[in-house]
Structure 1
Amino acid sequence: MSSDNFDKILASASPSIGSPAVTSSDFAIRLRNVTKVFRIYARPQDRLIQMATLGRVRRFREYPAINGVSFDVFQGETIGIIGRNGSGKSTLLQMIAGNLQPTSGTIEQKGKLYSLQLGTGFDPEFTGRENAYLGATILGMSRSDVSAKMESILEFAGIGEFIDQPVKTYSSGMYARLAFAVAAHLPTEILLVDEVLAVGDLAFSQKCMRFIREFKSRGTLLLCAHDMGSVMALCSRVVWVDGGRIRMIGETKEVCDEYRKAIELEGDSTAELKFGGRRGERPPEIPPAPDHRAEILRTSSLANEIKVFDFDDDAAWIGHRAGSIVSAGLRNWAGLPVTNLAGGENVVFEIKAKAHLDLERPILGFTVRDRHGQVVFADNTFLTYRHDDIVVRAGETIVGRFAFQMPYLPTGDYGITVALATGNQAEHIKQHRVEDAIFFHVLSSHVAKGLMGIPMQSITMETVQELSA
């Protein structure tokens, strides 16, 4: 493409002088009764017949990809959009981005928006460099400003000489690299991210996550993803789209838990999977007590302060209920229940279950999650007893015990989910899984990075004398 033609396109993409400034409001995006209907033609020639008859002969059926969706995204908020393939998530984001027009309803936007969606946002005939200039110009940057940042964009993307090749020749990973590199250098106020985190290598994915976390502190983020870990780690609220409609909208962990439950129910081949209990509320947050040792705690391996709450036998559960978990809890090395921990000590986590029917090859396990729903650590009995054909008869009780050193944990709330299953690691039947059966609260901690700190058996440092040859 000639530079003259490309410069004309840049000029037409620039915002017109005198355009109204963005007004301040409490929302960044507002959707009201948004519907998108696609026309589905059974045969290619039906489309021609429809056009030739000027619509007098109807040769299509209507497919409502999005149907009557309404919600607000507030300024500075991070919203997750989840749902199965084909539920309408990407169509919804494409309408918010302006790549598709709704059939009916309204979408309001307050602020400069940039969309990170594979297959959209870039002109496939333009080179990566040309697309970077075009995207930046649409958001109001001058060509000279983009040129000043181009070296940094190239370094972030890391695609080398491919920056001057047409985007249509890029792999999905290269496309994602360029998209993130451009987004990181634009004056964006609203960022849409659609499944882009699923591509690329580990190093680049970590770089993208660092950028997204930094963007969260200054902008509005809509994240569409199948990775529940990313959604729970980043989002304050979640919209669950199912069949083109909003099935649920609310607090992240609550919506993600219900979504996972629905997926498990739909994936179960029998009609015997049951649900019950109530979703427990986390205990009220206990503010960390002032401590004159705070600086020492932040820079040393001194103990956490961990408050452990009792087993909730009325917590939300799922399973076939051929057996039930009747109790679970942390105990010290002497077998006595503990309600306070300091991190680093030897503990035993005990799960007790009762069989209502015969249980063949039972598995007991637990999962510890933080307040975002991220798994901190987990384990089960399968590996230890994988070669044993254990059968627990109806009416019998089985007890599983896990002995370990309690890790050091960052401050905050944690939940322990306990589970009883039968079968093996790959193929098993959930008999009774109790969500957030136990809560515990970490009041203070020296752990500043990562999900947890590991108790060290020994840490040494010494000088050594190198022997000369």
Structure 2
Amino acid sequence: MSCDVAIKIQDLSKHYQIYEQPSDRLRQIFSRGRKKFHKDFCAVQDVSFEVARGEVVGIVGKNGSGKSTLLQMICGTLNPTTGTVEVKGRVAALLELGAGFNPEFTGRENVYLSAALYGLSRQEIDARYDEIVAFSEIGEFIDQPVKTYSSGMFVRLAFAVIAHVDADVLVIDEALSVGDAYFVQKCMRFLREFMRRGTLLFCSHDTEAVLHLCTKAILMNRGRLELLAEPKKVVEKYLAAFYSTENSAQREENNGSEAPSAVAIDLGEYRDARLSVINQSALRNDIELFRFDEQQSSFGQGGARIVDVQLLDSVGRPLSWAVGGEDVQLCIRCEIFVTLNRPIVGFQFRDRLGQIIFADNTYLSYCDAPITAVANSELVALFSFRMPLLPSGDYSISPAIADGTQETHVQHHWVHDACIVRVHASSVCLGLVGVPMRAISLAVSS
């Protein structure tokens, strides 16, 4: 295998024998092959592909298409019926929930067991143990049996282990779908950093994740590799097959919804004519804002500190809920410890994949007449805008304060995922955001 190839799959197949009743297994043994008492089921059939070092490959396909079976054979937790798997380097995997953990062992014991299976010595595990526990954020539960853990705690601990074993190849199978919003954002930051040096292979029904994370993608269909190509082509073919077979009812419903393709930069004074109707229906874009969490990870020189982030209505009243399409203000409060001659306060609004949906800062508004924030004062930044129409899901706001210019500045405090924003309902079914329409018309001519 070439030194540039991290994974090489050649003619890989996995067959199962399906028996209608347990006694048929005995009959099969005593028949010595003269008669067949089972049906053959092929989960994976003649799959071949290579993954280069440093690539990010997504695997998509309908349920039962063989995705998980393929990943298990790559990781070595399942033996193939025929074919070969070659993997160069250390492989760490996050497969089905709880895989690799002994439910009777405590979290601490499972950390040592799991890390040892990845090839770490006792001394290496000792040196990384505190970092693993801190990353998992399960606190005192680390000494409880993992059979008492919730699904989210399972994922936290399992991901924390694979994040600290110096893997060359990471394999992930839909496991992050059960994590909470804060932890998913932390995992996405780790994965984006890992993608700079390692090889990532993951299975997902989330086509947005495949499009924005992967360098190439694989479409599995009934156990066979149907397409290996750039993510856009694979996702298009997968969606065409998905909507044409299993989701026709949902497709008809979605045909009446828009698929906006861009963020509206300046909405002006107009309002979407449909907004009053939508806001009285179950499709109202209800947006929940969670409190500022000062314990989230952060970095900076420490000359200033962000102490609060709030969403306000148009007259300055704090909001715990907002509605997409309405005017809001984002308020960022900062304590100043040293004099900042050209303070810049900004924020990023990210989706659960860590993609920046929109962002802004105060630099352009004050570059010609900068204000000075003296030591022991408070600096408040207000951003007034119309809340975009957002698809359902979790988002996060990451604020920051710096001193200098857009190009050259000192970062004093940047807080990752300081606030979680949860969209509970939406009329937006496609795209990253919805754009309010000035008008929509439909005409029939003979």
Please give the TM-score of this superposition, normalised by the length of structure 1: 0.56
2:125 equivalent to 1:146: yes
2:24 equivalent to 1:46: yes
Q: Which residue identity is paired with 2:112? A: Y
CA distance 1:223–1:269, change in 2 (3 Å): closer
**Is the partner of 1:248 in helix, strand or coil?**
strand
2:45 equivalent to 1:64: no
CA distance 1:246–1:212, change in 2 (3 Å): same
CA distance 1:366–1:225, change in 2 (3 Å): closer
2:357 equivalent to 1:451: yes
Q: Distance in 2 between matches of 1:268 and 1:116?
A: 29
Match of 2:7 among 14, 29, 48: 29
Q: What residue is the counterpart of 1:196 in the other structure?
A: 175
**Is the partner of 1:240 in helix, strand or coil?**
strand
Return the offset for 1:264: 1.6
Q: Contact (CA 8 Å) 2:92, 2:170: kept in 1 or not?
A: yes
**Is the partner of 1:63 in helix, strand or coil?**
strand
Q: What residue is the counterpart of 1:228 in the other structure?
A: 207
Query: How is 1:149-168 mapped onto 2 (pairs within 5 angstroms)?
Result: 149-168=128-147
Query: How is 1:173-188 mapped onto 2 (pairs within 5 angstroms)?
Result: 173-188=152-167
Return the offset for 1:208: 0.8
How many residues end up aligned between the 2 structures? 295
Match of 2:76 among 91, 94, 98: 98
Match of 1:113 among 91, 94, 98: 91
Q: Distance in 2 between matches of 1:112 and 1:364?
A: 46
Residue by residue, what CA displacement relative to the aligned partner does 1:315-367 show, whole Å, maximum 9, x if unpaired? xxxx99xxxxxxxxxxxxxxxxxxxxxxxxxxxxxxxxxxxxxxxxx957342
Q: Contact (CA 8 Å) 1:376, 1:451: kept in 2 or not?
A: no
Query: How is 1:308-457 mapped onto 2 (pairs within 5 angstroms)?
Result: 365-368=258-261, 383=275, 450-453=356-359
Q: What residue is the counterpart of 2:106 in the other structure?
A: 127
Q: What residue is the counterpart of 2:54 in the other structure?
A: 76
Return the offset for 1:165: 3.3
Q: Distance in 2 between matches of 1:173 and 1:260?
A: 29
Return the offset for 1:230: 1.8
Return the offset for 1:68: 0.8
Match of 1:169 among 145, 148, 161: 148
Q: What residue is the counterpart of 1:359 in the other structure?
A: none
CA distance 1:57–1:377, change in 2 (3 Å): farther
Q: Which residue identity is paired with 1:213? A: R
Return the offset for 1:50: 2.6
Return the offset for 1:235: 0.8
Unaligned runs of 5+ in 2: 280-345, 350-355, 379-446
**Is the partner of 2:359 in helix, strand or coil?**
coil
Q: Contact (CA 8 Å) 1:368, 1:377: kept in 2 or not?
A: no
Q: Distance in 2 between matches of 1:155 and 1:197?
A: 18
Q: Contact (CA 8 Å) 1:50, 1:58: kept in 2 or not?
A: yes
Residue by residue, what CA displacement relative to the aligned partner does 1:62-116 show, whole Å, maximum 9, x if unpaired? 1000011111111010000011111110000000000111111111111110111
**Is the partner of 1:230 in helix, strand or coil?**
helix
Residue by residue, what CA displacement relative to the aligned partner does 1:222-262 show, whole Å, maximum 9, x if unpaired? 01111122222211111011110112111112211221122
Q: Which residue identity is paired with 1:37? A: H
**Is the partner of 1:126 in helix, strand or coil?**
coil
CA distance 1:36–1:382, change in 2 (3 Å): farther
CA distance 1:52–1:177, change in 2 (3 Å): farther
Higher relative contact order (CA 8 A, sep 6+): 2
% identical equivalent positions: 44
**Is the partner of 2:197 in helix, strand or coil?**
coil
Query: How is 1:288-327 mapped onto 2 (pairs within 5 angstroms)?
Result: none
Q: Contact (CA 8 Å) 2:348, 2:360: kept in 1 or not?
A: no
**Is the partner of 1:239 in helix, strand or coil?**
strand
Q: Distance in 1 between matches of 2:257 and 2:12?
A: 46
Return the offset for 1:455: 9.5
Q: Contact (CA 8 Å) 2:211, 2:232: kept in 1 or not?
A: yes
Q: Contact (CA 8 Å) 1:69, 1:245: kept in 2 or not?
A: yes
Q: Contact (CA 8 Å) 2:347, 2:361: kept in 1 or not?
A: no
Q: Which residue identity is paired with 2:22? A: P
Q: What residue is the counterpart of 2:244 in the other structure?
A: 265
Residue by residue, what CA displacement relative to the aligned partner does 1:147-177 show, whole Å, maximum 9, x if unpaired? 1211111111122333233333333211111
Larger radius of gyration: 1
Q: Which residue identity is paired with 2:8? A: R
Q: Distance in 1 between matches of 2:358 and 2:143?
A: 44
Q: Distance in 1 between matches of 2:181 and 2:61?
A: 25
Please give the TM-score of this superposition, normalised by the length of structure 2: 0.58
Residue by residue, what CA displacement relative to the aligned partner does 1:3-38 show, whole Å, maximum 9, x if unpaired? xxxxxxxxxxxxxxxxxxxx8611100111111001
Q: Contact (CA 8 Å) 1:31, 1:107: kept in 2 or not?
A: yes
2:115 equivalent to 1:136: yes
Q: Distance in 1 between matches of 2:202 and 2:171?
A: 6
Q: Distance in 2 between matches of 1:269 and 1:95?
A: 33
Q: What residue is the counterpart of 2:308 in the other structure?
A: none
Return the offset for 1:53: 4.4
**Is the partner of 1:31 in helix, strand or coil?**
strand
CA distance 1:465–1:36, change in 2 (3 Å): closer
CA distance 1:455–1:159, change in 2 (3 Å): closer
Q: Distance in 2 between matches of 1:205 and 1:376?
A: 29
RMSD of the alignment, in Å?
Answer: 3.8
